[in-house]
Each structure stands twice: as C-alpha cells, then as structure tokens.
Amino acid sequence: MGFLKQIYGISNTIQGLFGGLIVIICVGGILCIALLLILKKVNKPLAVSIQALSSCLLMIPIMFGINNYVESQVGTIEQTLNDRNRIREQERKINELEGIIRQIESTGFNLQQFEKILELGLVETQLKQTTLYKHIFDSNSGGLLGLGAYNWEYLGVMTSDVTAKFGVDLKTVRFYNSGNNTIMVYGIESKFIGTSNFNSTVEVSEVRRVNPNGETQIDKSPLAISALRTQERDMDSSYRERLSKGLETVFMNETVEKLAENFVKLILAPLNKEIVFTNVDGANSMQLNDFLKAEMETRANELNTLKNQLSNR
C-alpha cells in the first residue's frame, strides 16, 4: 500500500514539472517571436498578424500545460487531505480500541474475584407467607370386624417471615456472537440462593379423626398429640424444601431475571454491541470470562493491524 502511494506521488510530481516546463517554453517562444518581429522591422501589419497568430497557437499548449499543472496540484492536495483524514480516523479507532481493551481487562479482573462463586446475588427481600398444610397420615383398622375404623387427618396453618436472597448462576449463562454486531445471551434463570432470616409461627394445628362416613372430630388423645408434633415438623420442613426449590417464590423470577439482564448489559457495554437475550444456545457459546477474553483478543489483533498500517506510511 505504501509503495503504490509513493509511485502515485512521483507520478504527480513529474506531471506537475512537465506542465510547468511547457508553460515556460511557450511563454519564451511568444517573447522571442515578438522580439524577432520587432527587431527585423518587417511590415508592421503582417508582423502584428503573425504575432497574433503565433500567440493564439502557442496559447493552446500554454493552457494545456496550466490545466495539467493545476490538476496535478489539486490531485496532490486532495490525496494529502484524504491521507490525513484516514490517519485521523485510524488514530481515533486506535484510541477507541485501546479504551475498550482497558475496560475489558478491568471487567475480566473484577470477574476473577468471584469466578469460583456460583451465584450472583441480585435481590434480598422480606417475605411473609401463609402456608396451609393438610395431610392424611395414618389409619386404624378398628379391630377384627373393622368396627371403629378411622383415618387421622392433620390440618395446619403456618405463617413465615423470611429474608430471602435471589440471583442467577453465572456458570450457566452463555454468550456468543451472531453477526451483525450482536451478542446473544442464553441461560439467565432466577434462582433462590438462601435465607439470612427465617421465623415461622404455627397459627392452627390439629389432628382430626375422620370416620368412614366422613364425620370428623378433633382428636386430643395423647397418641394424637404426639402425632401432631411430628406433623408440625413435617409442615415446616415441607415449606423449607419448597422454598429452596423456588416453588414458593416463582413470582420473583421476572424481577430477578430483569436485574440479571441489566447486570449483563453493564458488563458488556464496553464492546459497543447490541445485546439480545435468547432461549436458544449457540454452538460457539462461551462462559462470560472466556467470551470477554476472546473479544479482547479480537480487539487486540485489530489494534495491531491499525498500528502497523500507520507505521508503514
């Protein structure tokens, strides 16, 4: 590229010199003819006619030379301006790439600080929930003839005050380029992380005897009271299990996922690309750290190419 521009510059210089030389020769020719006619004292009308004719003829190469010279200079100026504009644009691009690389490096460094942490906590909220627990848990055959047979049914109502934390698992989120300056993000899913505070209160707790005819009555016998305590523990553990699986907090999913998307947009902002969240994984998808490393390598290669182009001018 640099060699071709040198040839182009030499060609413009020769063209300009040639045009200037023609102008000088033609002007000299006009002066000589005029001087010759004057010195020889020839017929003045004829001398004037010859001088006018010579001037007209010689003006043709003069105008050609002037036009050729001007065009060569204008072309040189335009080429110089274009070169300067390209250099400025390349320098601007270099500064932009260097800034992007610095931001990616900073982001990657910060991510390494919690690379081993599976969850990114995004939301901590106070929940107050009421749980209804109804369970048939035992039966009595009622002896040989089945007289006095019944089932035990437990009915419990529990309120819970919970400080719950929600987030996303960064290890499951995948990133890939889809072309058109677009980054696809797959796998953002809300996850219950844990609780920092859990208090529960049993509001209703009773064991009922259900007879075969459907009649019920509260059973306060020692055996029933013993079973009641067991059922209260089962009610509490059942709620905690459902809570840990996110079954009690489905209503939080949309909020958590939206916050996670905003976090991802913030992390990827230095790349100056459109961010699209998708339910389809890509064949070339990567985890966040690997994706940022690949993007930084791409920018570094582009930066080196621009610097080499400038150095070869």
Look at phi and psi of residue 180 and say left if phi exceeds 0, alpha if psi is from -120 to 50, else beta: left
Q: Of 17-31, 235-249, 263-277, give the lowest mean pLDDT range.
A: 17-31
Is the confidence at residue 24, as pLDDT, over 80?
no
Mean pLDDT value of segment 23-32:
60
- What's the mean pLDDT in 190-217? 88
pLDDT tens-digit map of 103-143: 666 655 455 554 544 456 678 889 899 999 998 876 664 43
Instruction: Check pLDDT > 60 for residue 144.
Output: no
pLDDT number for residue 93: 67
Burial of 191 per CB tally in 10 Å (0-12, 13-18, 19+): buried
**Three-state secondary structure of 41-94:** CCCHHHHHHHHHHHHHHHHHHHHHHHHHHHHHHHHHHHHHHHHHHHHHHHHHHH
Q: Could you tell me the strand order of the sheet in which 174-179 lies?
A: 174-179, 182-186, 274-278
CB burial of 140-166 (b: ≥16 within 10 Å; e: otherwise) equals eeeeeeeeeebebbbbbbbebebebbb
Spatial distance between the Cα atoms of 137 and 114, rounded to a whole number of angstroms: 46
- Please give the helix or strand (H or E) that residue 228 lies within, else none: helix 222-244
Q: pTM above 0.85?
A: no
More confident of the two residues 62 and 299: 299
Q: Mean pLDDT score of the chain, rounded to an integer?
A: 75
3-state secondary structure (DSSP) of residue 126:
strand
DSSP state of 13: H
Residues 6 or more apart whose Cβ sits within 8 Å of residue 126: 161, 162, 163, 164
Q: What share of the chain in percent tops pLDDT 90?
A: 22
Q: Tell me how far apart the 2 most distant CA atoms of the chain are, in Å.
A: 163
Q: Which residue has the higher pLDDT, 296 or 155?
A: 155
Name the band, by pLDDT with cuts 50, 70 and 90, for residue 182. very high
Note the pLDDT of residue 124: 85
Whole-number pLDDT of residue 240: 92
210 has a pLDDT exceeding 70: yes
pLDDT interval class at 15 (50, 70, 90): low
Q: What burial letters (b/e) apply to 27-40, b meaning 16+ CB within 10 Å?
A: eebbeebeeebeee
pLDDT-derived band of residue 304, with 50, 70 and 90 as boundaries?
A: confident
